[in-house]
Amino acid sequence: MREYALSNEMGSSLVVAPLLTIPTILVLSVAYGLLIPNIARHVYFSRDPVVGFFNPLPYLTIVLLFVFIALAGWLLNKTMLASKCRNTTFASRLGLVLALLFIHSAWSAFLGSWQWQLSPLRGLIGPLSHVTSFFFDPLLVWNTAMELLDEGWFTIFGMQPSGLVLAGFWLVEAAIMGLGIWGATRNSLHEEVFCEACNAWTSLKQDDRRCVIPDSAPEIERIQKGDMDAIAGLPLLPEMGSDDAVPHFRFNLHECSTCRRTRTLDIEVVKYEEAKGKVTENVEDFSSVFVMDGADYDKYTAQGAASAPPSGAS
């Protein structure tokens, strides 16, 4: 089988993707930036010495950040698919722009909300006026951040981080923001398959075929390179209980639901890890995505039919 590659066609993404992704990133980043000082207001300013020592906010900040990035990644994937973008270079460059936008707008929201809470006009105006001022004035963002950097603004383990320590926290947070958004956009087309004839994305068939990993290294290499004869010769994995789960191959078959001629196959390795008495499934990509022609598909389906249990068997 030959390796599949997207056609690099843009679809409507040049217009649709920015129109949908930029407002999405703005809303999510501003929401994240507004949450942090408002949570801090109730946690950091607590008079309870235990809260002051074991401050949960740095950990809560990281958890919230991952939640927002995961949500952004899901929305970005849906947007890229809806615009029928097949150009990975465009997705990567758009991801870089969105990552910088997320960092800047999140910081604008955080600093604007922080300044609003300290403002004597707080009861007369909402925080968004401050946020807007920061968003359109990068120098204001920088100067206010430098002031916070000198003084610090929260306590943890009885200390108030400032200077290089606080800068380190901020750099880690910015790295998670930037790499998370960039990676989510860049990988939004990962293993997605498009039928050019029907102008539609293919769908994953509920095949869930699992096969034994052979012992022979040359045989494994043939499978990784998409040799259908080697793939079709693999025995299907028997039913397993929770106590005898073993590493195995899992196959993902994509097919165009309209013409049923565009088909691809990719392979994953499924491994099992045990921690605290609980077994979890760990899935890793094993092969590229390969295009299946009619002969390849016949061999693949024949393998499943030959290994399937007889009708009525349990």
Residue type present at position 253: L
What is Dmax (Cα atoms) for the chain? 78
pLDDT of residue 47: 42
What pLDDT does 122 receive? 58
Q: What's the confidence (pLDDT) of residue 16?
A: 93
pLDDT in tens, 129-184: 888 989 999 999 999 888 888 877 666 666 677 788 888 888 988 999 999 999 99
For residue 271, the SS3 value is strand
Q: Are 250 and 267 in contact (CB under 8 A)?
A: yes
Report pLDDT for 312.
Answer: 40
> Interhelix angle for 138-151 vs 88-118, to 10°?
60
Which residue's structure tokens are 């899901």?
A: 74
Going by C-alpha positions, the residue among 104, 136, 107, 98 that lies closest to residue 18 is: 98
Query: What was the pLDDT predicted at 99?
Result: 94
- The low-confidence residues of the chain, meaning pLDDT below 70, are 40-57, 118-126, 153-159, 206, 239-244, 304-314
